[in-house]
Structure 1
Amino acid sequence: MKGVHFLMSLVLLALATSFASASDPDPVQDFCVAVDDPKSALFVNGKFCKDPKHANADDFFFSGLNKPGDTSSQLGSNVTTVNVNQIPGLNTLGISIVRIDYAPYGLNPPHTHPRATEILVVAEGTLEVGFVSSNQDNNRLFTKILNEGDVFVFPVGLIHFQINRGHKNTVAFAALSSQNPGVITIAKAVFGSDPRINPDVLTKAFQVDKNVIDYLQKQFWVDNNN
């Protein structure tokens, strides 16, 4: 009888593990609105797949990360993105890469990747980097000065930034754990949304005078992502 109970326990444990690990697939785009008629569908959560028999080496290839990005914007930085849109073969593989160029004192402003953890390595120069933990962790700042060859991780969804504190150009490369990580630049999203967020909301949220919000909403918010 003990053997039967033990066997039943193993079966129940296996079933529980199976149910616990079952979940919906992770999103790889901002949203995917359901439609009842398949003929009306334009997008899927990711990309449609080519017949594997028709795949070739070019589907898994990108050239150009050796070329510096244009850092002449007011941010002084440029992100060259290589995701599923540049390499179709990345579809379903859950990874992408970027090159980030920084002019002296150039900034990659506070932003988040809603679908990816990022691991960054400095190839040339020096960076000050950091991320802020969630409200649950009291929004602690984790920051570090990185030199050539140093590596830093930004956990998925958390606000993070990089700034070049040096007098020379800096170059970094980062891998992200999604074929389409997405990026939300905090200042641009909050003050440059289309249409604009009601100023009353932002005035109360930031606890500043409405004139400050009006000024910020009238600015042209630069996007440094290519």
Structure 2
Amino acid sequence: MEDTTYGINFLVAIEFLALLPMMAIASDADPEQDFCVADPNNPTIVNGLVCKNPALVKASDFIFHGLATPGNTNDPLGSSVTPAAAAQFPGINTLGISMARLDFAKGGLVPPHTHPRATEIIFVVEGSLFVGFVSTNGTLFATTLQKGDVFVFPRGLLHFELNVCDGTATAIAALNSQNPGTQIQAVALFNSGISEVVLEKAFGLGEKAVQKIEYAVEAANKKP
């Protein structure tokens, strides 16, 4: 009975989590029709994704099964993010919402990153996560989340998630954009081709120190 109750509560929580961004002010443009299922085969470039012919839309366009399977955490960071944005889930195109599944090995980390187009809210399904974000005045807001807890990362602010339990951890995220965008700060700074002179001056480091960080960042974010 207890397992059944937990299963029901879990489903209700996920449904609520998915609806939250729709109750907020959307960061994406408001839709002008009931739906606009994305057509990934259309080469036309627009601000978003081109709509599929409504006459060809089916119920299956509004279903996404990708979050049911745990992601591969066999990498240096010990984490995996499985997105359900418009590119993966055509049915949410123009609806101003997306989701993601976060899987963590023991000690796994989703490194400091930003979503320039979305606020993110996460629900801890299993395990314990140490999470936090940094405001524009440099204040850190961090705490440890337990199973069943919910936490929000304001739009565009630097944030992270670290597994601090003895086993694996899982979380579900909802974001109020069909294409939130993700910029990992270490990669953007030290693995994007920015001049080493710029990095040396910005961080007060010598040439060798910058190069060492560049190699370390590349190795840490290299997928198997």
Alignment check: 8 A CA contact 2:117 2:155 kept = yes
| Pairwise CA distance, 1:217 | 2.1
Residue 62 of structure 1 is aligned with which of 61, 64, 77? 64
Q: CA deviation at 1:26?
A: 4.7
Root-mean-square deviation (Å): 1.8
1:132 aligned partner: 134
Q: C-alpha offsets along residues 85-111 of structure 1, whole Å, 9 cap, x if unaligned? A: 111111100100000001111000000
Q: Shift of the alpha carbon at 1:51?
A: 2.2
**Could you say which residue in structure 1 is the equivalent of 2:214?**
217
How many residues in Structure 1 have an aligned counterpart in Structure 2? 183
Percent sequence identity over aligned pairs:
49
Q: What is the identity, as a one-letter code, of the residue corresponding to 2:173?
A: A
Q: CA deviation at 1:221?
A: 4.6
Shift in Å at residue 115 of structure 1?
0.5
Q: CA deviation at 1:52?
A: 1.8
Query: How far 1:64 sits from its partner (Å)?
Result: 3.0
Q: Choose from 197, 200, 204 the match for 1:200.
A: 197
Whichever residue aligns with residue 208 of structure 1, its letter is: L
Question: Does the CA-based 8 Å contact 1:99-1:172 persist in structure 2?
Answer: yes
- 8 A Cα contact 1:78 1:224, kept in partner: no
Contact 2:28 2:178 in 1 (8 A): no
Q: TM-score, normalised by structure 2?
A: 0.77
Residue 165 of structure 2 is aligned to residue 163 of structure 1: no
Contact 1:109 1:161 in 2 (8 A): yes
In our comparison, the structure showing a higher alpha carbon Rg is: 1
- Give the 3-state SS of the residue equivalent to 2:91 in structure 1: helix
Paired residues of 2:84 and 2:98 also in contact (CA < 8 A): yes
| Superposition deviation, residue 144 in structure 1 | 1.0
8 Å Cα contact 2:66/2:82 also seen in 1: no
Between the aligned partners of 2:67 and 2:44, the Cα distance in structure 1 is: 31
Offset from partner CA, 1:113-157 (integer Å, 9 cap, x none): 0110000000000000000001xxx21000111001100000010
Any stretches of 5+ residues in structure 1 without a counterpart? 1-24, 28-40
Match of 1:18 in 2: none
Give the 5 Å matches for 1:100-179: 100-134=102-136, 138-179=137-178
Distance 2:212 2:164 in 1: 28
Q: Which SS does the other structure have where 1:89 is aligned?
A: helix
CA distance in 2, matches of 1:84, 1:224: 25
Shifted more, 213-222 versus 165-174: the winner is: 213-222
